[in-house]
Amino acid sequence: MKITDATVFIGGPDKNYVTLKIMTDEGIYGVGDATLNNRETLPAAYLKEYLIPCLIGKDPRNSEDLWQYFYRGAYFRRGPISMAAFAAIDMALWDIKGKVAGLPLYQLFGGKSREGALVYAHATGSDLEDLVDSVARYKEQGYKAIRVQCGIPGMPTSSYGVAETKGDNKNYITDFTGATPKEEVWDSDIYMRYMPDALAKLRDTFGFDLKLLHDVHHRLLPREAAEFAKEIEQYRLFWLEDPTPADDQDALKLLRHHSTIPIAIGEVFNSIWDCNKLIENELIDFIRVAVTYAGGITHVKRIVDLAGLHNVRTGFHGAPSHSPVSMAAQAHLNAWAPNFGIQEYLVLGTEECDALFPSQHKMTDGMFYVSDEPGLGVDFDETEAQRYSYEQGFHPVVRLQDGTLWNY
Ligand code: CS2
Ligand code: MG
């Protein structure tokens, strides 16, 4: 079996999905995702200019050797752009492998460890009252786990993950179109003084059966993160996410001494080397890598297996920027992983999205049920794709009140 061609397309309904399609001489094709949010053209160029020419003529079933060929052959290793490009190839090769075998990918990983995978939605509110309404709506829809992000009184601009206007209950969209980044102002002290009472109000309103998650989004210093984690431990969050940047994998040691709150980190990581110390020292409870950002199924399976040795569960990233192709890959891993935790799931199922990426995967009542179609179980409609084109966007840039550049 040989690879004969491959194409890359950027675009989608309100999204710049980067979709790779690899064709073979037996008529079987595979799809992969290289959507690196707000930098989409870069993995697309890497694929078109460097990687696809090397794929032609190769046997698509040798996905491990091809992963090593691109990772070691790149010389300059790791980084989000190259790992997203490798990820797309890897997902497409696994898709082909599943189609050749006539099996859904979870069967090739070792079969199902569960029927449904728990997912969580993003509740958001410009103020606490708005957030309570948003949580109530998701609870009504059957979600058992909900992330809560709240507008903070006195914060100079809107905080992370917060609807700009009251009652704006669309899923928090992280794509910011525009020629340059929007600038936001952050104050950790204002946040740290307000959020504990907001979480207390949510527990008073919804009780403790509802799984609540909260994303600090890298905003606190390690010491602040330890103080904050200690203060909110009583509200029994399912997890506290990205309390402090983890470029320094030792940054969480202080927090772990002061709080038993479950910690989730990893969505910005792109290789096992970004998180192996966090996992081996059990400084986290959930690893948040995304199949697209972290080198594909082949590499993320390694991370999941390492995590499984150290009581760390999966909590794959699944923000609105994630393509149904990457979410399908994660769905198969979620069905298989013995140390599955939870899947972030922003309602992807719009009519346009389903038309562009037809699949039998189902999300209902806060649980995700993986498709039994061979391979990834998701397709890519090239005719439908002609409706879309790329629109540049940027993540916001964040500054402290004194102008210091801070973490978005
Ligand atoms: C967030 C993301 O979903 C999350 O946990 O951290 O939405 C993040 O803001 C975006 O993926 C950034 O592109
Ligand atoms: Mg996050």
| Helical spans, DSSP H, in 310-400 | 324-336, 351-356, 382-385
State what percent of residues in the chain have pLDDT above 70: 97
In a domain, 31, yes or no: yes
In the prediction, which pLDDT does 171 show?
46
Distance 266 CA to ligand 1 centre (A): 11
Query: Which residues of the chain register pLDDT less than 70?
Result: 169-178, 347-348
Q: Same structural domain for residues 190 and 171? A: yes
In the prediction, which pLDDT does 14 show?
84
Return the bridge partners of 375, or none: 104
DSSP-assigned letter for residue 274: G
Per-residue pLDDT tens for 157-188? 988 888 777 877 654 555 566 678 889 999 99
Q: Same structural domain for residues 220 and 344? A: yes
In a domain, 270, yes or no: yes
Q: Same structural domain for residues 129 and 38? A: no
In the prediction, which pLDDT does 176 show?
62
For residue 194, give both structure tokens.
């307000």
Q: Same structural domain for residues 40 and 125? A: no
Q: Same structural domain for residues 196 and 255? A: yes
Nearest in space to 384 (alpha carbons), one of 5, 9, 4: 9
Distance 174 CA to ligand 1 centre (A): 7
Q: Which of 217, 218, 332, 361 is catalytic?
A: 217
CATH of the domain at 327: 3.20.20.120
Q: Are the beta carbons of 147 and 120 closer than 8 angstroms?
A: yes
3-state secondary structure of 127: coil
Nearest in space to 237 (alpha carbons), one of 206, 267, 202, 261: 261
Q: Which domain holds residue 266?
A: 108-380
- Average per-residue pLDDT for the chain: 95
CA distance 153 to 318: 28
Ramachandran assignment for 130, one of left (phi > 0), alpha (psi -120 to 50 degrees), beta (any other): alpha
Last residue of a domain, one of 104, 139, 169: 104
CA distance 174 to 161: 8
Distance 317 CA to ligand 2 centre (A): 7
Ligand 1 atom closest to Cα of 320? 7
In a domain, 390, yes or no: no
**Residue nearest atom 3 in ligand 1 by C-alpha distance:** 319
Number of domains in the chain: 2
Q: Same structural domain for residues 205 and 317? A: yes
In a domain, 406, yes or no: no
Q: Same structural domain for residues 344 and 360? A: yes
Q: Same structural domain for residues 44 and 68? A: yes
Q: Same structural domain for residues 10 and 144? A: no
Nearest in space to 391 (alpha carbons), one of 11, 3, 2: 11
Per-residue pLDDT tens for 293-328? 999 999 999 999 999 999 999 999 998 889 999 999
Sign of the dihedral through C-alpha 96, 100, 102, 105: negative
Which of 39, 174, 176, 323 best tests ligand 1's pocket when mutated (most atoms within 8 Å of CB)? 174
CATH of the domain at 59: 3.30.390.10
Q: Which residues line ligand 1 (CB under 6 A)?
A: 37, 174, 215, 217, 267, 319, 321, 344, 395
Q: Same structural domain for residues 298 and 322? A: yes
Token pair 């997890």 in the structure block, residue: 239
In a domain, 403, yes or no: no
Token pair 């993995």 in the structure block, residue: 43
The overall pTM is greater than 0.95: yes
Q: Are the beta carbons of 163 and 125 closer than 8 angstroms?
A: yes
Q: What angle do CA 368, 373, 374 make, to 5 degrees?
A: 125
Last residue of a domain, one of 70, 104, 138: 104
Last residue of a domain, one of 72, 104, 136: 104
Per-residue pLDDT tens for 185-203? 999 999 999 999 999 999 9
For residue 198, give both structure tokens.
């907001």
> For this structure, is 217 an active site residue?
yes
Token pair 């859904």 in the structure block, residue: 104
In the prediction, which pLDDT does 348 show?
67
In the prediction, which pLDDT does 161 show?
85
Q: Same structural domain for residues 98 and 144? A: no
> For this structure, is 218 an active site residue?
no
Q: Same structural domain for residues 96 and 241? A: no
